[in-house]
Amino acid sequence: MPKKVYIETYGCQMNVVDSEVVVSILSGAGYVPTDNIGDAGLILINTCSIRDNAEQRIWGRLKAISHLKKRKHDVKIGIIGCMAERLKEKLIETDKLVDIVVGPDAYRELPLLVAEAEAGHKAVNVLLSREETYADISPVRMDKNGVSSFVSIMRGCNNMCAYCVVPYVRGAERSRNPESILKEVKDLYELGYREVTLLGQNVDSYKWDSNIETTGFPELLEKVAMINPLLRVRFSTSHPKDISDDLLHTISRYENICKHIHLPAQSGSSRILKLMNREYSREWYMDRVNTIRTIIPDCALSTDMITGFCTETKEDHKESLSLMDWAGFDFAYMFKYSERPGTKAARKYKDDVAENIKSERLSEMISLQNKLSAQAKKNDVGKVYEVLIEGFSKRSDEYLSGRTSRNKVVVFPGGGLKKGNYVKVLIERCTSATLIGKSI
Ligand code: 5AD
Ligand code: SF4
């Protein structure tokens, strides 16, 4: 009987790919993945530390699965990823349920660590690395649709945003060898995938030096786009201080590079941006958006925003709202500031915006963004977009669902078409989340 591993993933898309890498490494040691937690001899939780509530959710989840261990004593539970890195041995000490703790750069050691745990010892490895990119490992794809997938192009982060735990839990930035990226993307295309998203904490600083040439992000993106015009390419995340005109020209030159940029602003106040150590001002951000609109006129834009960062005043908050309104973001992820131990903000500034004010500002921001998103969708009505079909719509098998290059979900009646196909769709109306149309 093969040993079974169940893996649950929290946090960002990087973690999704990491889980696929982990399954690949464990399959080399005789494990097969299972969707049924009750069946598994090994349960892994790939964790996120970005905000306190992300960690609280995982503590809650650990409690919820404790009965499995009481029922079957030989089940091993591992905490892997960012929270493993942040809390280290503390996890094992505070929670007797946990047998294995492995940080994001130590996944190659997992088979050994699991064996140690099976022999009755606690197993921990949270060493960070300056080189590890798992370049040679083919992730075992666990997405359900077989159409779009993520490809990691770099790991870690060298920016020191004052609020952010990522550099501490994922280590220094390192880029992955472009050959291994191109091979992985080609393999995905051969398998029938029609969309890849290149992932990194700050893709604009991707850089690989071989003896012959230097590959920056624009060159890498171009090479990926040239693999096949039927393969859509997306990427995330760009940093406003680093996104170059060169990159924007590359995006505009290739039809199959999606016209959507996720460009986290975080705040609209230059004073707060300075405290956040973002290394750009409100004016710089606006200039970048203007340049995007000039070079790629039909580009969709999305952002991340934090409300209630240390010392944020009502005026700072108004500036965040006015920046969002000015940019007319198609989409935004919005968060209340959550102090993370060890970060610059935690060490140097007071988390002095009251919880109820943070909540008030967040709901104001969300209602503004709802208006902007609705407006962005209304603007699409009456237009024709090319849609890559990802599968049936959630509500009905008579409708297909896919996305436009600008990353909007489109639902339409889909006689004779199937996932992975491209189809031109006339947008007839929209709901708050979806565009609805007919194929033409
Ligand atoms: N508190 C709230 N939001 C945060 N983010 C990162 N760190 C924090 C924090 N301490 C948000 C940022 C980032 C996104 C991934 O999470 O907006 O872009
Ligand atoms: Fe991803 Fe950051 Fe959460 Fe780690 S802490 S899983 S890098 S979002």
Helix axes 245-253, 217-225, angle to 10 degrees: 10
Sign, CA dihedral 310-311-313-316, equals: negative
C-alpha pair distances (Å), 334 with each of 115, 118, 267, 325 = 42, 42, 10, 14
pLDDT at position 80: 98
Distance 120 CA to ligand 2 centre (A): 30
CATH topology of domain 384-439: OB fold (Dihydrolipoamide Acetyltransferase, E2P) (2.40.50)
pTM of the model: 0.96
Domain 3-125, classified CATH 1.10.3720.10, yes or no: no
Q: Span 292-308, mean pLDDT?
A: 97
For residue 189, how far is its CA from the centre of ligand 1 (angstroms)?
33
The residues, any chain, with a CB within 8 Å of residue 186's CB and separated by 6 or more, are 227
The pLDDT of residue 1 is above 90: no
Position 46 scores a pLDDT of 98
Cβ burial, residue 297 (10 Å; 0-12/13-18/19+):
exposed
CATH of domain 148-378: 3.80.30.20
Closest to 126 (Cα-Cα) out of 67, 185, 86, 66:
86
Q: Return the pLDDT at 70.
A: 84
In this structure, what DSSP letter does residue 349 have?
Answer: S
Mean pLDDT confidence for 415-439: 94
At 312-326, the pLDDT tens digits run 999 999 999 999 999
431 Cα: distance to centroid of ligand 1 (angstroms): 28
**Residue with the nearest Cα to atom 3 of ligand 2?**
48
Q: What is the pLDDT of residue 397?
A: 86
Q: Whose CA is nearest to atom 7 of ligand 2?
A: 166
Of ligand 1's listed atoms, the one at least distance from the Cα of 50 is 7
Cα 12 to ligand 2 centre (Å): 6
Ligand nearest to the CA of 236: 1
Ligand located closest to 49 CA: 2
The helix (run of H) or strand (run of E) holding residue 325 is: helix 314-327
pLDDT of 93 above 80: yes
Q: Give the Cα separation of 111 and 25 in Å (integer).
A: 8
Buried b / exposed e across 194-213, counting CB within 10 Å, b at 16+?
bbbbbbbbbbbbbebeeeee
Q: Give the Cα separation of 318 and 312 in Å (integer).
A: 10
Per domain, the residue ranges of the chain are 3-125, 148-378, 384-439
Instruction: Dump pLDDT digits (tens) for 49-92.
Output: 999 999 999 999 999 999 998 888 899 999 999 999 999 988 98
pLDDT class for 125, splitting at 50, 70, 90?
very high
